[in-house]
Structure 1
Amino acid sequence: MNYGRRFTRRIGPALTPALTIAALIAPVPGFAQQAIVVPRPLLSPAVVLPTLTDAQAALLATLIDRDSIAQGLQESATPRAVPLDRDALVRAALDHASAVHAGRLIEDDFQLEWGIRPPAYDPLPAFAAAVAGDRLASWIASLPPPYAGYDTLVAGLARYRALAAAGGWTALAGTDLKLAASGPAVAALRKRIAIEDAAFDATGDRYDTALAEAVRRAQQRYGLNPTGAAGTQTIAALNVPVEARIRQIMANMERWRWLPGVLPKNRIQVNIAAAVLTVFEGDTPVMSMKAVTGRPGAETPMLVSQIHSVVLNPPWNVPSSIANRELWPKEKAKPGYLKRNGFRIIDTGDGGKRLQQSSERSALGKFKFDFDNRFAVYLHDTPAQSGFAKFDRLSSHGCVRLEKPADLAKLLLKNTPEWSPDVIDATVEEGKTVRASMSDREAVYLLYWTAFANANGVVSFRNDPYRWDGTLASKIETRQARQALASL
C-alpha cells in the first residue's frame, strides 16, 4: 500500500449555490460534525475578516456543505443546514479549514500514546487570498492532507455511504460455512459478500469455488487467515454494521490530518493495527514485512522519529515495569530462572537493581534499530519467530518486532561504507555487541490505521485493538460540546 503523496486532486462536479452550511448541524454519535478549532486569535471580534460578494457567499456555503460531507466531518451524508449571516459564514469557513487541514482536537485532547501532533495552522491568510482572487473552490480543494492514502479513504467513505443509503447489510446467522455447503445460510452469505465485492455473483445457494475465492478476498480485507471458509471470525467481521465501518473510515481520516504537509520520500512506516512494516524509497514501497506490535495494555505509540543506528547483537536492558511484573516473580517462583535465561542482575548504584539479558539470549535477537522517542520503544529482531505466522500479531510489550530485520539493517546501512552486507553478517556471527551508526538517518513513522484503501476505493479494515477509534470520536464530541458552550 502506497500512502505517499498524491499527484492530482479532483475538485468535483459543479455546485449549485445555496446560502446554507452543514458545519453547525445538530450532533449525532461518532464524528457527527466538526468542532470549532480555529486558533483563538481568529475568533476575536477585532480580527478583520474578508468581505464576500453575494455570489462568493452562496458558493462558499455550498462548498462547505459538500466538503464537510466528503471529508468525513459529519456522520450523515445528508446536509442539515442553517442559514448564516455573512461574518458567521466566514468564521465557519475558517473553522472548516482548520478541521479539514489539521484535525479537530487541541493539544490537551491528545492522550500520551498519540505522539503525533498536527503542525500549527492559520487558515486566514490563504482564505483571504482566495477571496481576493475569487478562488474559493481551489482553496477548499487544497485543504485536505496531500496524500494518496487520504484520498483513497475519501473515495472509500463515499462508497460506504452509498452502501448505507442502499440499506447496508443484514447480519448473518450461519457459522462455519465452507465448500460444498448449501442452503439459506449460504445464500445469505453470497448476498452479503456481493455487497462489498462487485466482482462476485450473489445468485445461488451453494458454497462453490467462486464463493470460496470471494470469502478469501474478504478475509484479506479484514486481516484474517484467508482460508476461504466462513468461520466465526469471518462472520463477525462481515456482521460489523456499515455505519460502524463509516465511523472507522472517519477516524482514520482524522489521524491523517495529524501528519505534516510533506512526508520524507525515504521513510519507514509501521501500521500498528495491521502489524506491518513498509519501507519507502523515493516515495515508492520497496520492502514490506510482518511485524509484531504492542498488545492492548502495552500499546505501541504513534510517533515520528529518525533511525540513527543499528545495534548488532544487542543485550536487552529490561524495563523495570516488565522486570517487576514478569521476571522477578518468575525468579521467586523458580529460583535460578534468571541465570538460566541469560539475565544479569546489575546494581543501579542507588540501592536498586535492574536486569539485563545477554546478547546471546537477548529477546531483541540480533538487531535493534534505535530512534529517539520518549516512549523508549524501538524496532528489533526476535528469537520468537512463530509469532509471525499468526494473523493477530499484537503481542509485544510496545516495541515493534520484525520478521526480516537483517534485510532492513542491510538496506538502511547501504550508504554507510564500513557496513557492507558481508561485514554485517560477520559481526552478527561473531556475537559481539556493536552499534553501527548510519550515514543517512531514516525517518520512521509508527501509525495506527484501522482502515485503509487502494486506488479503486476498496477499503481494508482491521480491528481497533486499542479502542482508539472510539476514544477519538468521544474526544471530538467533547471538544465540540465545549466549544459550543463557550460560544454561547
Structure 2
Amino acid sequence: MNRPDLIRFPLLAVAGLLAAPLAAQTPPPAVTPTITPPTVQPLPAPPPPVPIPALSPAQESWANEWLKTGVAQGLMARSKASAALKGDALVSALLDRAKALGTGRVDTADFLEVWALRPAAVDPRPALAKAVSEDRLQQWANGLTPPWSGYDTLRKGLAKYEAIRDKGGWPTLTAGTSPDVVRARIALEDPTVTQNENLAAVIQRAQRRYGLEPTGQLGARTLEALNVSVNDRIAAIMANMERWRWMPRSLPVNRVQVNIAAAVLTVFEGDQPVSSMRAVTGSPTNQTPMLSSSIHSIVVNPPWNVPMSIAKRELFPKGRATLIKQGYKIIKTPEGGERIVQPAGPGSALGRLKFDFNNPFAVYLHDTPSRGKFSSYDRLASHGCIRLEKPVALAEQMVAADPNLNGQIQTLIDEGKTQRVSLPSQVAVYLLYWTAFASNNGTVSFRADPYGWDKLLAAKIEASSSRVDPTAAPSPTLASKD
C-alpha cells in the first residue's frame, strides 16, 4: 500500500541503519565539541548631538520674547511670568518649543490607541543650530508651525475667545432670556450680527456654526450650545490646533477626508475640495479612529463578515432561528466555534459597495441600505466604519482614470456578483476629528465633542506644558478635567 507520509530509504541504507547497533561492540570515546563563542559586535555609538552655537545677547532677548507666545499657539491656556533664560536652559526651551510646534505638545506615548494619526518624529537641533549660526531665528520660528490655513485661522479664533474669557465670558441663556441679550450673546462670537437684523436669522447662523438644524428657534439644543463655557470653547480650539500639529507637512493633492465629529466626507482633487457628502460615523461607544491610509480597492456586492464583538453582543442573543430567518448564515470556524455572515444583497449592512484600506481597526467606507440617518443632524451611529450617502458617485470618481471601469460601477453592481475592483491608483484617506474650524476672520464653527476627546486632549496639552515649559502655568479650569 502506498503511504505518501512515509520517507523511503534505499534498501542498503536501511540495512546499514539496522545493523549498525549490532556491529558496535564498544562505544566510541566521547568527544567534547569545541564551541567558539560568536563574536559580538558592539553597537555603533549614536552620533553626537549637533552642537548649537552660543546665542548672542540679541538672540537671547528675541528667543525669550518668542517663548512667551506659547499661549497664542494653543500650547497652554495661560502663561506665567518667568525670569529670562540663558545658555543651556534657553536652548532646551527652544528645542522643546520647536518639537511642540512641529509634532505636537503631547508625546505619542500618551495618545489613546484610537488616535492612530501619529506625527513623524523630528529632530529640531540641526535646524536650530543653523538658524543661530546664520542669525535667522525668526525665520526658523516662523517655519515651525503647521503650514495649513486651518491651523492659522484657529490661531486667530483662539485669540478672540481668550479676549472674551479675559473680559468675563458670556451669560447663561434660558428660554426666557430677552431677545436683546440673546443677540448680544451671539454677537460675541459672530461679528456680522447687527442690531436690526432679524433675530431668527441670527439664531440660524449660530445653529449652522454649531452643526445644528437651523430652525431659528431658541430650542434646548441651541441653548445648550450657546451655554458651553468659553473655557470649554478654548479647550476645543487648543485640541484641534494640536491635531493640526500631528498632520504631515504635505498632503496628497488627491485624497478623501472624513470629519468624524461632523460626519462629513470631502473629496479633494488638486488639493481643492471638489465634492462632499454626509456620512454616518462611529457612535460614542464605537468610536471611529483617527488614522491615515490609502484606499486600494472597492468590493462590489460585498458580504458582511460580522465581527465577533458585534455577533456576541447584538446577533447571537436573537437566537439561531431568528438569524437564519433574517438571512444570516451561521458558519463553523476551524476552531470549533461559529461566526455569522450576512450574504451580499440589497439588505446587506454594507450595501452594494465597500472601500478597502489597510488599518489595524478593520474599519472601512461603505454603502448602506439604511438611508434615514443621512437626513439627520445626529449621524454618529455606526460601529466604527463610515457609511456613505453617495457611494456610487465616490466609486466613479476613483475609477474614472481606467477606461474599462469608467462609468461601469452601477453595471457591476447590477450583475449581482461579489467582485473586487482594484483602483487605477490608490487614493489617500484621512479620518480626522475636527470639532473646531474657523473662517479667515477668526469666526469659529464648533461641533459637539461626542467622544470627549477635546477636553481630554486639552488637559494633556496643559499637563505636558506645565511639566516642561518654563513659560507655562497650569490652568485650574483645564487641569481639573483630565
Hey, what does 2:249 align to over in structure 1?
A: 261
Hey, what does 1:362 align to over in structure 2?
A: 348
Bigger drift between 336-345 and 399-408 goes to 336-345
Query: Distance between the aligned counterparts of 1:92 and 1:282, measured in 2?
Result: 38
Cα pair 2:77 2:462 within 8 Å, conserved: no
Counterpart amino acid of residue 348 in structure 1: T
After superposition, the C-alpha distances for 1:334-381 in whole angstroms (9 at most, x for unaligned) are x53212322111111210111110111210001100000000000001
* Residue 319 (structure 1) aligned with residue 307 (structure 2): yes
Query: Distance between the aligned counterparts of 2:355 and 2:432, measured in 1?
Result: 17
Hey, what does 1:9 align to over in structure 2?
A: none
The CA RMSD measured in Å over matched residues stands at 2.0
Please show how residues 91-106 of structure 1 align to structure 2 within 5 Å: 91-106=92-107
Hey, what does 2:239 align to over in structure 1?
A: 251
Query: Distance between the aligned counterparts of 2:167 and 2:107, measured in 1?
Result: 36
Counterpart amino acid of residue 103 in structure 2: A
Residue from 65, 68, 71 that aligns with 1:69: 71
Residue from 393, 405, 413 that aligns with 1:419: 405
Counterpart amino acid of residue 401 in structure 1: R
Query: Distance between the aligned counterparts of 1:283 and 1:47, measured in 2?
Result: 36
Hey, what does 1:169 align to over in structure 2?
A: 170
Q: Secondary structure at the match of 1:257?
A: helix
Hey, what does 1:457 align to over in structure 2?
A: 442
* Residue 391 (structure 1) aligned with residue 391 (structure 2): no
Cα pair 2:50 2:126 within 8 Å, conserved: no
Residue from 336, 359, 367 that aligns with 1:373: 359
Hey, what does 1:115 align to over in structure 2?
A: 116
Residue from 176, 179, 184 that aligns with 1:186: 179
Sort the Cα spacing of 1:169 and 1:479 in 2 relative to 1 into closer, same or farther, 3 A: closer
Where in structure 1 are there 5+ consecutive unaligned residues? Answer: 1-40, 176-183, 204-208
Bigger drift between 466-475 and 372-381 goes to 466-475
Query: Distance between the aligned counterparts of 2:469 and 2:403, measured in 1?
Result: 59
Deviation at 1:79, TM superposition (A): 4.9
Deviation at 1:229, TM superposition (A): 0.6
* Residue 288 (structure 1) aligned with residue 276 (structure 2): yes
Deviation at 1:190, TM superposition (A): 1.5
Where in structure 2 are there 5+ consecutive unaligned residues? Answer: 1-45, 471-482
After superposition, the C-alpha distances for 1:224-282 in whole angstroms (9 at most, x for unaligned) are 11111110100110011112111110001011111111111111100001100000000
Q: Secondary structure at the match of 2:246?
A: coil
Hey, what does 2:23 align to over in structure 1?
A: none
Q: Secondary structure at the match of 1:336?
A: helix
Query: Distance between the aligned counterparts of 2:199 and 2:189, measured in 1?
Result: 13
Hey, what does 1:196 align to over in structure 2?
A: 189
Hey, what does 1:351 align to over in structure 2?
A: 336
Deviation at 1:148, TM superposition (A): 1.2
Q: Secondary structure at the match of 2:334?
A: coil
Hey, what does 1:85 align to over in structure 2?
A: 86
After superposition, the C-alpha distances for 1:60-99 in whole angstroms (9 at most, x for unaligned) are 1112213x122111212x5523222222111111111001
Query: Distance between the aligned counterparts of 1:158 and 1:439, measured in 2?
Result: 45
Deviation at 1:481, TM superposition (A): 6.1
Deviation at 1:450, TM superposition (A): 0.9
Deviation at 1:479, TM superposition (A): 4.2
Sort the Cα spacing of 1:473 and 1:426 in 2 relative to 1 into closer, same or farther, 3 A: same
Cα pair 2:297 2:420 within 8 Å, conserved: yes
* Residue 474 (structure 1) aligned with residue 475 (structure 2): no
Counterpart amino acid of residue 222 in structure 1: Y
Q: Secondary structure at the match of 2:289?
A: coil
Hey, what does 2:25 align to over in structure 1?
A: none
Residue from 321, 327, 336 that aligns with 1:336: 321
Query: Distance between the aligned counterparts of 1:153 and 1:310, measured in 2?
Result: 36
* Residue 54 (structure 1) aligned with residue 39 (structure 2): no
Aligned length: 424
Query: Distance between the aligned counterparts of 1:480 and 1:303, measured in 2?
Result: 25
Query: Distance between the aligned counterparts of 1:160 and 1:473, measured in 2?
Result: 15
Query: Distance between the aligned counterparts of 1:399 and 1:318, measured in 2?
Result: 12
Q: Secondary structure at the match of 1:114?
A: coil
Hey, what does 1:431 align to over in structure 2?
A: 416
Query: Distance between the aligned counterparts of 1:445 and 1:484, measured in 2?
Result: 31
Deviation at 1:167, TM superposition (A): 2.8
Deviation at 1:470, TM superposition (A): 2.0
Q: Secondary structure at the match of 1:351?
A: coil
Q: Secondary structure at the match of 2:188?
A: helix
Q: Secondary structure at the match of 2:61?
A: helix
Counterpart amino acid of residue 73 in structure 1: L
Hey, what does 2:222 align to over in structure 1?
A: 234
Cα pair 1:194 1:202 within 8 Å, conserved: no
Query: Distance between the aligned counterparts of 2:329 and 2:440, measured in 1?
Result: 52
* Residue 147 (structure 1) aligned with residue 148 (structure 2): yes
Counterpart amino acid of residue 81 in structure 2: R
Deviation at 1:435, TM superposition (A): 0.8
Counterpart amino acid of residue 59 in structure 1: W
Hey, what does 2:130 align to over in structure 1?
A: 129
Sort the Cα spacing of 1:481 and 1:454 in 2 relative to 1 into closer, same or farther, 3 A: closer
Q: Secondary structure at the match of 1:436?
A: strand
Query: Distance between the aligned counterparts of 1:345 and 1:92, measured in 2?
Result: 60
Counterpart amino acid of residue 274 in structure 2: V
Counterpart amino acid of residue 371 in structure 2: Q
Cα pair 2:290 2:430 within 8 Å, conserved: yes
Query: Distance between the aligned counterparts of 1:482 and 1:63, measured in 2?
Result: 19
Identity of aligned residues (%): 53
Query: Distance between the aligned counterparts of 1:477 and 1:285, measured in 2?
Result: 34
Bigger drift between 269-278 and 353-362 goes to 353-362
Bigger drift between 137-146 and 105-114 goes to 105-114
Query: Distance between the aligned counterparts of 1:80 and 1:380, measured in 2?
Result: 53
Sort the Cα spacing of 1:69 and 1:477 in 2 relative to 1 into closer, same or farther, 3 A: closer
After superposition, the C-alpha distances for 1:365-412 in whole angstroms (9 at most, x for unaligned) are 011000000000000011110011111110000000011101000001
Q: Secondary structure at the match of 2:240?
A: helix
Sort the Cα spacing of 1:216 and 1:483 in 2 relative to 1 into closer, same or farther, 3 A: same
Q: Secondary structure at the match of 1:196?
A: coil
Deviation at 1:174, TM superposition (A): 2.2
After superposition, the C-alpha distances for 1:163-220 in whole angstroms (9 at most, x for unaligned) are 2233321111226xxxxxxxx52222111111112221247xxxxx711111111001
Deviation at 1:149, TM superposition (A): 1.1
Q: Secondary structure at the match of 1:445?
A: strand
Deviation at 1:134, TM superposition (A): 1.0
Deviation at 1:477, TM superposition (A): 4.4
Cα pair 2:75 2:105 within 8 Å, conserved: no
